[in-house]
Structure 1
């Protein structure tokens, strides 16, 4: 499958796409060398960012730079696993399971964000945008989760995070990320009007913005979308809250972020 063709639900098994942004003709051995080389470049700093080792504090220059390279050196299945378990991620601590139904071609950011969100993110730049869409076990909810790899340094990411927090940019309905629908999947009708809940997280120990947006798989329009932080409150009574769509967005975003942090640990571990 070429990278320009989205991976879709229900199709015959397709050849695994080995790396984002790498030609499919590269061999597995070459890919391994790339990841190993990344580990050597990042050194112990990369390992500390991913594992929490105190020998080099998270957010150090080497770790930060190495994290920004993950978009083209890591298999898609490690960044966006085919199946994601969300133990305790649902309302009331219920368990969730999500299945990946589509992976978007890696792109720029021009069409992935509403205009005001694109403007808010402009100070950190857009190096690459990776997205995937998942469906829950009941085929009732769909969620697009994304990793925006920026061009920014740690100071710029810290400034952006502070601005998001101060101005509440991650809670504004005119600053929602867009969905990634795919034909022939339960997310086929998952467009702008179907967005129900969302979350956005600006990382400061990596040049990455993690986001997710959820909605109903039946394509129904949502007139009052709600940020995940609000939709997850026990007293929330909106349609997104009652359907658990805040939990869907936040649960998937959290687990993709964890996957990002863990993905190259074996390549950076020091021999005993």
Structure 2
């Protein structure tokens, strides 16, 4: 049973051990506050026979259903639906450290296959989406609704870059999530600079100045096996503005010579988002390990 103090319902959360001396302190903002007598007749021979047949029939049906469950016949769709539904509840049932680990290792996630390590410096309170996205992105996501938004901000080992990663838990079913994913792909909505996610600027950390103007690279992924949209947005930790942000896929392309690409900020966003998404999928696929 996970420590309740590490759950999303905890009033506050802090962790300084992963950062070490001189490193930014993990902080968590205060969460928003969610008559007659009965006569018996003897059984006839026919009644006894009928009862025996009924019991035998039920046994055969039950055996067939059990066999089907054990072999997986006809259970794939039901299992997928169950996992999809379960995923939608993770925002309040899974500890913070399971969704956003204090340290995330990115083997081969950097430019040229270099290893990366990201250190969590702040976890935002779980909120709605009213002020978390630019108006156009909020409009694009509106068809699936917003149940809850979880966010955390990380820095690299040198504290040169900051990256906010988010998990938007929607109100949609799998059909609506597939439709949204198709639209994002067909219309390249994940590449438009007017649809970038907003960062979480954590006060008194190296991400203090990580505002909209500092957004350098980003990635957005609409899942179809869970009612979740994952994203990440990265920038420099020194607060410098960015005139020409690039989607992570473009910034990671071979031969790209922009400042964003050469700094590896596309790798920061994409690498961290991918690993948080993997952790989410692993949690969904391991229901027996979920907290009660």
Which of 186, 193, 196 is residue 206 of structure 2 equivalent to? 186
- What secondary structure is seen at the aligned counterpart in 1 of 2:76? coil
Query: Residue 200 in 1 paired to residue 206 in 2?
Result: no
Structure 1 residue 56: deviation in Å?
A: 2.9
Deviations 1:33-71 (CA, angstroms, capped at 9, x unpaired) = xxxxxxxxxxxxxxxxxxxxx963698211110111111
Structural mapping, 1:98-109, within 5 Å: 98-109=118-129
Distance in 2 (alpha carbons) for counterparts of 1:12 and 1:198: 24
> Is the contact between residue 84 and residue 226 of structure 2 (CA under 8 Å) also seen in structure 1?
yes
Distance in 2 (alpha carbons) for counterparts of 1:12 and 1:218: 17
Q: Partner of 1:113 in structure 2?
A: 133
- What secondary structure is seen at the aligned counterpart in 1 of 2:125? coil
- What secondary structure is seen at the aligned counterpart in 2 of 1:200? strand
Deviations 1:75-116 (CA, angstroms, capped at 9, x unpaired) = 000000000000000000000000000000000001110100
Long gaps (5+) in structure 1: 24-53
> Is the contact between residue 4 and residue 105 of structure 1 (CA under 8 Å) also seen in structure 2?
no
Structural mapping, 1:184-263, within 5 Å: 184-263=204-283
Q: Using a 3 Å threshold, how does the CA distance of structure 1 residues 21 and 237 change in structure 2: closer, same or farther? A: same
Query: Residue 96 in 1 paired to residue 94 in 2?
Result: no
Distance in 2 (alpha carbons) for counterparts of 1:178 and 1:61: 31
Deviations 1:134-155 (CA, angstroms, capped at 9, x unpaired) = 0001100000000000000000
Query: Residue 154 in 1 paired to residue 174 in 2?
Result: yes
Deviations 1:123-174 (CA, angstroms, capped at 9, x unpaired) = 0000000000000011000000000000000000000000000000000000
Distance in 1 (alpha carbons) for counterparts of 2:170 and 2:258: 34
Corresponding pairs, count? 236
Higher relative contact order (CA 8 A, sep 6+): 1
- What secondary structure is seen at the aligned counterpart in 1 of 2:220? strand
- What secondary structure is seen at the aligned counterpart in 2 of 1:234? coil
> Is the contact between residue 222 and residue 228 of structure 2 (CA under 8 Å) also seen in structure 1?
yes
- What secondary structure is seen at the aligned counterpart in 2 of 1:157? helix
Query: Residue 71 in 1 paired to residue 91 in 2?
Result: yes
Q: Partner of 2:70 in structure 1?
A: none
Q: Partner of 2:149 in structure 1?
A: 129
Query: Residue 168 in 1 paired to residue 188 in 2?
Result: yes
Q: Using a 3 Å threshold, how does the CA distance of structure 1 residues 188 and 59 change in structure 2: closer, same or farther? A: farther
Q: Using a 3 Å threshold, how does the CA distance of structure 1 residues 202 and 59 change in structure 2: closer, same or farther? A: farther
- What secondary structure is seen at the aligned counterpart in 2 of 1:139? coil
Structure 1 residue 267: deviation in Å?
A: 4.4
Distance in 1 (alpha carbons) for counterparts of 2:194 and 2:11: 29
Q: Using a 3 Å threshold, how does the CA distance of structure 1 residues 136 and 266 change in structure 2: closer, same or farther? A: same
> Is the contact between residue 24 and residue 206 of structure 2 (CA under 8 Å) also seen in structure 1?
no
> Is the contact between residue 59 and residue 204 of structure 1 (CA under 8 Å) also seen in structure 2?
no
Q: Using a 3 Å threshold, how does the CA distance of structure 1 residues 142 and 57 change in structure 2: closer, same or farther? A: farther
Q: Using a 3 Å threshold, how does the CA distance of structure 1 residues 187 and 164 change in structure 2: closer, same or farther? A: same
